[in-house]
Amino acid sequence: MKASAESILEVRDLVKHFPLTQGIIVKRQIGAIKAVDGVSFDLHRGETLGIVGESGCGKSTLAKLLMALERPTSGSVRIHGKDITKAKGAELKRMRRNIQMVMQDPYTSLNPRMTVGDIVGEPFEIHPDVAPKGDRRRRVQELLEVVGLNPDHINRYPHQFSGGQRQRIGIARGLALQPEIIICDEPVSALDVSIQAQVMNLLERLQNEFGLSYIFIAHDLSVVRHISDRVAVMYLGKIVELGTDSEIYDSPTHPYTQALLSAVPVPDPEGRETRQRIILQGDPPSPANPPSGCHFRTRCWKAQDICAQQVPVLERRPGSDHPSACHFAEVRDVVNAQ
């Protein structure tokens, strides 16, 4: 399916700061963890937007904000023009139908005491108008079939399934309300290589069949490239670069993107002796206390004085046609130039 230009999700200046408190009896706020710190992007109909970045950079928090599972500190998340962060009660419930989530861990995200039928059919309990009671069993069996599970296993429990099958159960549940948007938070990272391919192929097939739009969060850059039309690279709560898969992977301009890509081992031993690597020193700084100016400057080999003083905005820069949040953005092909 070709992604259209129509935006079904518009995220603007989204911020989530978790208060950092001290004291047990009298809690004093001594700062804030800037988990998401000014994120804007659009998601188009039928498109997959990949989100990559190191652990703790705010990917899951962003996902929760989009689902309205967390209230943002500021900013907006519009689905078909309506802001879900401001929605309440019946309206929020209706909007949530349209945006569903598949979670990272197929081992802990499913309730062990519920049968597969109950798990996949649970959204119908919350939204009874979607499927009348008498029709639910059939609907659940259809969903199981769609994701490649045996519909006769409707009365089994999660522990009777493998990791890959449990992830399918999670996907079937995500599909139940026929949403337009599905947020996948690390949907394949807990799975073995041979099972990863099965689940990724399933996600792609469902997208074509139902015209779904995906936000696909993962730390595996190869997986993200495979499935995404566009990719956003996050660092300490901000998007630092955003572009089509080939803009990001073949002509990245942000030093962080370049370092991240260059760290991915290529599954081919040919030419490995001469392969150039950018090895970043240290770990990302704490989101409670990010560096001034460009958050990446403490690990950046190109940093200048201006980087400590001015926050680089995410915008198109000379010499490249996709946005990058670096004062000295410059194309460097680190993946193929080896």
Partner 1 sequence: MTEVLSEQVGSGSRSGALLEVDNLHVEFHTRAGVAKAVNGVTYSVDAGETLAVLGESGSGKSVTAQTIMGILDMPPGKITGGEIRFRGVDLLKLPEDQRRKIRGEGISMVFQDALSALNPVFPVGWQIAEMFRMHRGTSRAEAKKKAIELMDRVRIPAAKDRVNDFPHQFSGGMRQRIMIAMAIALDPEILIADEPTTALDVTVQAQIMELLAELQRESNMGLILITHDLGVVADVADKIAVMYGGRIVEHAEVHDLYKNPAHPYSKGLLESIPRVDHKGQELYAIKGMPPNLLEMPSGCAFHPRCPYRRETCETDVPPLYTISGTRGSACHYWREVIDEGQR
Ligand X SMILES: Nc1ncnc2c1ncn2[C@@H]1O[C@H](COP(=O)(O)OP(=O)(O)OP(=O)(O)O)[C@@H](O)[C@H]1O
Using CB under 6 A as the criterion, which residues of the chain lie in contact with ligand X when the complex forms? 18, 33, 35, 53, 55-61, 219, 287
In the complex with ligand SF4, the residue whose CB is nearer, 173 or 327, is 327
Pick the binder of partner 1 from 94, 277, 301, 304 (CB under 8 A). 277
Q: Which residues are paired to 16 by β-bridges?
A: 36
Name the binder of 290 from ligand SF4, Mg ion, ligand X, none, CB < 5-8 A by kind: none
**Stretch 283-302 residues interacting with partner 1 (CB under 8 A):** 283
Site string for partner 1, 196-235 (x = CB under 8 A): xxx-xx--x--------------x-xxx-xxx--------
Residue 15 binds partner 1 (CB under 8 A): no
In the complex with Mg ion, the residue whose CB is nearer, 48 or 61, is 61
Residues that bind ligand SF4 in the complex, under the rule CB under 6 A? 254-255, 294, 296-297, 300, 302-303, 307, 312, 326-328
Measured CA to CA, the distance from residue 183 to residue 174 in angstroms comes to 9
Structure tokens at 127: 């939204």
Structure tokens at 38: 């000014």
Measured CA to CA, the distance from residue 305 to residue 59 in angstroms comes to 29
Measured CA to CA, the distance from residue 248 to residue 332 in angstroms comes to 10
In the complex with ligand X, the residue whose CB is nearer, 141 or 167, is 167
Structure tokens at 197: 């391919």
Measured CA to CA, the distance from residue 217 to residue 4 in angstroms comes to 21
Name the binder of 274 from ligand X, partner 1, ligand SF4, none, CB < 5-8 A by kind: none
Name the binder of 296 from partner 1, ligand SF4, ligand X, none, CB < 5-8 A by kind: ligand SF4
Name the phi and psi angles at 252, rounded to 5. Answer: -70, 145
From the CB of 20, what's the least distance to ligand X, in Å? 8
Amino acid, single-letter form, for residue 314: L
Residue 162 binds partner 1 (CB under 8 A): yes
CB of 49 closer than 8 Å to CB of 43: yes
From the CB of 57, what's the least distance to Mg ion, in Å? 9
CB of 108 closer than 8 Å to CB of 163: no
Cross-sheet strand order for the sheet of 230-235 = 99-102, 181-185, 213-217, 48-52, 230-235, 238-244, 323-324, 315-316
In the complex with ligand X, the residue whose CB is nearer, 73 or 115, is 73
From the CB of 131, what's the least distance to partner 1, in Å? 30
From the CB of 34, what's the least distance to ligand SF4, in Å? 17
CA dihedral defined by 170, 171, 172, 174, rounded to 10 degrees?
Answer: 90
Q: Which residues contact 317 (CB under 8 A, 6 or more apart)?
A: 253, 323, 324, 326, 329
Residues that bind Mg ion in the complex, under the rule CB under 5 A? 60
Name the binder of 287 from ligand X, partner 1, Mg ion, none, CB < 5-8 A by kind: ligand X
Helices (H), 35-181: 59-66, 89-97, 116-126, 136-146, 163-175
Pick the binder of partner 1 from 106, 117, 164, 170 (CB under 8 A). 164
Name the binder of 58 from Mg ion, ligand X, partner 1, none, CB < 5-8 A by kind: ligand X
Helix or strand (DSSP H, E) at 321: none
Number of alpha helices (DSSP H) and beta strands (DSSP E) in the chain: 10, 12
Residue 1 binds partner 1 (CB under 8 A): no
Q: Which residues bind partner 1 (CB under 8 A)?
A: 54-55, 162, 164-165, 192-198, 200-201, 204, 219, 221-223, 225-227, 245-246, 249, 259-261, 263-270, 272, 277, 279-283, 335-336
